């Protein structure tokens, strides 16, 4: 344990720091200290410059002290040297000290010059500091003020901060952000961070030092030998503009080495333009799954959306709400946001009316509580607003729930879609864009089958006046009911994390990315189109759970395999077996070539389905669904018995 300081000055500073180690020392203390240092500096200057003490020189010294002291005090107050937090001393504080000491020196020099050039003199020159004495006085004062602050900072670091746990880290990025990061970490009051190496891809920086820390190549640092030898615990990515794919590669390599991974946010997210250690963010699982930002054809979207009345169903959901946020970028005449869930709808209303930039468009917002399966209510909405564009995101999406409630799944997902689609034609809407799912492809569950049936219906409805477009994509990160929020809740509860199967895989994209593509696909669709999004590489849910545990810093959390749920399959597909795609002008959007259905056949089948639905018999309802969608083969479900005996339940292998 460190010993207490023994000298009076050190003990005084030690006791002050001890008392205020969790807060800040009052400003008046530093103002008094600085004026005391001025007195010391003046005495030292006089001791060095006076060879003989006379009454006249003593009187002159008192006058010199009074004039220079008042000037110095006023400069201290004006510059605010006493307002800085000493434990976070930086170059800005040093600049303040220099200004507060050079200022009065220059003022005294100016006064001395004017006094000696004006005749008669205002006062005797012997009562004014000479040029050299003024320089020595304020040079000494500046040195003492800086040394005093550095001493307080060192005592604080040595006797208080050093007792905090040590953490060895590596900083990826030896540029300006890396320097700012290491300086911010030095001020952290919770941990004593020791930077053992900088990593940089710029070979011109390699084998040099930054603040005494070596700059090395990635392969020399990101290996188990280096990590173990230096007991490295964390890696901080200090490249705020790093490309997404590069960030993922760095993070994955660090996670494989058992390191915690953090990153420095972009400068626009710094608080008041400055950066502190508590702004360093933990890497999130979304950062490891997200992709490079999408380039949109804004001209095309403005032409599609500007000055139009737009209806968004399911507006309070994850996808629907993000579509609403993005629509306001393109100056629509009105956005009618419709949902049956009142609490999420209230949250959306509060957000859009309260926050920039949406609050500027309050007069363009309409919030409607309604259920798409209520045809009479939906007719009232269409009659009142007469939307020109419709984004249909309203649907039940939870696979196990819909497996248990096929009546509700069909009523909302199929006939709710039919209600909105028929009204779109009746009231002359220009375009209807439906949000579908990869679970509609070769469906193994009720939910996926209902979405496929909705696709079939709207695909058959396109007319010269109303164009119907379907967008089909996989899971979105962070959406309501998705796996990532579930894992976060389980982590918060101490685990375990549950996965249905060790080999289950899914496609993922971020909510903003998915909605960007929905708007783009909707703009390019000409009727009867099904657009498929490039979902990238599939992700193993088990690997995702493992990485989330690593990112959480709780390595003892277990992963529990609980078995596939009813209707669930190991993998999702974006295309049915008989479908193919053709490219569009957007590299992430493809147009599916799908089987066509006659209007008359669809109307007959859905009329029969409605009659079966009224029986409310789950087996009969699902049997009829399988008749309409022959590729609907149940998996791990009570409805497997309805499939032909020769047709084995579809499993991924």
Integer Cα distance of 436 and 458 in angstroms: 11
Helix (H) or strand (E) holding 368: strand 365-369
The three-class DSSP label of residue 505 is strand
- At residue 651's C-alpha, the angle toward residues 472 and 622, to 5°, is 65
**Rg for the chain, CA atoms, rounded:** 36
8 A C-beta contact, residue 532 and residue 575: yes
Do strands 475-477 and 365-369 pair parallel, antiparallel, or not at all (unpaired)?
unpaired
**Residues ≥6 apart with Cβ < 8 Å to 235:** 169, 170, 171, 172, 222, 250, 254, 259, 260, 261, 262
Q: Phi/psi at 586 (nearest 5 deg)? A: -100, 125
Residues 6+ apart with CB under 8 A from 604: none
Partner residues linked to 170 by β-bridges: 197, 235
From the list 96, 439, 569, 626, the catalytic residue is: 439
- Find the angle CA(124)-CA(127)-CA(131) to the nearest 5 degrees: 105
Indicate the angle between helix axes 541-552 and 483-492, nearest 10 degrees: 40
Closest CA to 140 of 38, 13, 32, 34: 38
CA distance 457 to 460: 5
| SS3 per residue for 531-561 | EEECCCCCEEHHHHHHHHHHHHCCCCCCEEE
Q: How far is Cα 575 from Cα 459, in angstroms, rounded to an integer?
A: 16
- Burial of residue 186 (CB within 10 Å: 0-12, 13-18, 19+) is middle
Determine the length of the chain: 653
CA distance 281 to 261: 9
* Torsion sign, CA atoms 427, 433, 434, 435: negative
Question: Who's near 563: CB < 8 A, 6+ residues apart?
Answer: 500, 501
Residue 439 annotated to the active site: yes
Q: Cite the active site residues.
A: 439
């Amino acid at each position: 344990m460190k010993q207490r300081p023994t000298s009076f000055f050190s003990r005084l500073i030690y006791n002050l720091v001890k008392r205020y180690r969790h807060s800040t020392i009052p400003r008046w203390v530093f103002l008094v200290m600085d004026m005391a240092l001025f007195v010391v500096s003046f005495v030292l200057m006089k001791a060095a410059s006076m060879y003989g003490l006379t009454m006249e020189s003593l009187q002159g010294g008192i006058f010199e002290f009074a004039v220079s002291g008042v000037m110095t005090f006023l400069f201290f107050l004006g510059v605010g040297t006493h307002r800085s937090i000493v434990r976070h001393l930086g170059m800005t504080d040093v600049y303040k000290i220099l200004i507060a000491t050079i200022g009065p020196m220059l003022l005294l020099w100016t006064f001395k010059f004017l006094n000696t050039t004006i005749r008669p003199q205002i006062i005797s020159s012997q009562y004014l500091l000479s040029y050299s004495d003024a320089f020595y006085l304020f040079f000494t004062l500046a040195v003492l003020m800086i040394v005093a602050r550095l001493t307080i900072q060192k005592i604080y670091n040595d006797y208080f901060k050093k007792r905090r746990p040590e953490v060895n880290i590596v900083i990826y990025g030896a540029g300006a952000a890396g320097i700012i990061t290491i300086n911010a970490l030095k001020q952290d009051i919770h941990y004593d961070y020791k930077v053992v190496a900088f990593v940089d891809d710029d070979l011109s920086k390699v084998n040099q030092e930054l603040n005494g820390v070596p700059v090395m190549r990635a392969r020399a640092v990101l290996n188990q030998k280096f990590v173990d030898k230096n007991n490295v615990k964390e890696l901080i990515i200090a490249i705020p503009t790093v490309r997404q794919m590069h960030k993922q590669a760095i993070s994955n390599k660090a996670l494989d080495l058992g390191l915690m991974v953090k990153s420095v946010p972009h400068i626009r997210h710094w608080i008041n333009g400055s950066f502190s250690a508590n702004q360093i963010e933990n890497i999130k699982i979304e950062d490891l799954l997200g992709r490079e930002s999408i380039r949109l054809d804004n001209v095309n979207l403005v032409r599609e959306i500007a000055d139009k009345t737009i209806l968004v169903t399911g507006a309070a959901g994850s996808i629907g709400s993000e579509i609403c946020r993005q629509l306001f970028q393109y100056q629509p005449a009105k956005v009618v946001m419709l949902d049956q869930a009142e609490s999420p709808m209230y949250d959306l209303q509060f957000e859009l009316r309260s926050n920039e930039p949406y609050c500027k468009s309050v007069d363009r917002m309409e919030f409607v509580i309604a259920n798409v399966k209520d045809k009479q209510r939906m007719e009232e909405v269409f009659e009142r607003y007469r939307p020109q564009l419709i984004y249909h995101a309203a649907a039940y999406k939870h696979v196990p729930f819909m497996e248990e409630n096929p009546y509700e799944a069909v009523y909302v997902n199929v006939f709710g879609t039919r209600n909105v689609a028929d009204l779109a034609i009746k009231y002359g809407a220009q375009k209807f864009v439906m949000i579908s799912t990869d679970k509609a492809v070769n469906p193994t569950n009720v939910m996926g089958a209902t979405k496929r049936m909705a696709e079939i219906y709207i695909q058959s409805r396109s007319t010269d006046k109303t164009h119907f477009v379907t967008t089909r994509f996989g899971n979105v990160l962070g959406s309501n009911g998705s796996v990532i929020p579930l894992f976060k809740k389980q982590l918060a509860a101490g685990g375990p994390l549950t996965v249905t199967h060790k080999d289950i895989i899914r496609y993922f994209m971020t909510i903003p990315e998915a909605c960007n593509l929905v708007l783009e696909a909707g703009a390019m669709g000409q009727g009867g189109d099904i657009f498929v999004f490039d979902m990238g590489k599939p992700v193993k849910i088990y690997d995702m759970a493992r990485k989330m545990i690593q990112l959480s810093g709780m390595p003892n959390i277990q992963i529990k395999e609980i078995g596939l749920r009813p209707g669930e399959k190991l993998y999702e597909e974006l295309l049915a077996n008989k479908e193919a795609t053709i490219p569009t002008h957007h590299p992430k959007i493809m147009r599916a070539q799908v089987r066509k259905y006659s209007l008359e056949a669809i109307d007959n089948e859905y009329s029969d389905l409605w009659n079966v639905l009224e029986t409310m018999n789950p087996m009969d309802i699902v049997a009829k669904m399988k008749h309409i969608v022959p590729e609907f083969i149940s998996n791990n479900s009570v409805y497997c018995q309805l499939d032909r005996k020769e047709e084995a339940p579809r499993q991924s292998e």
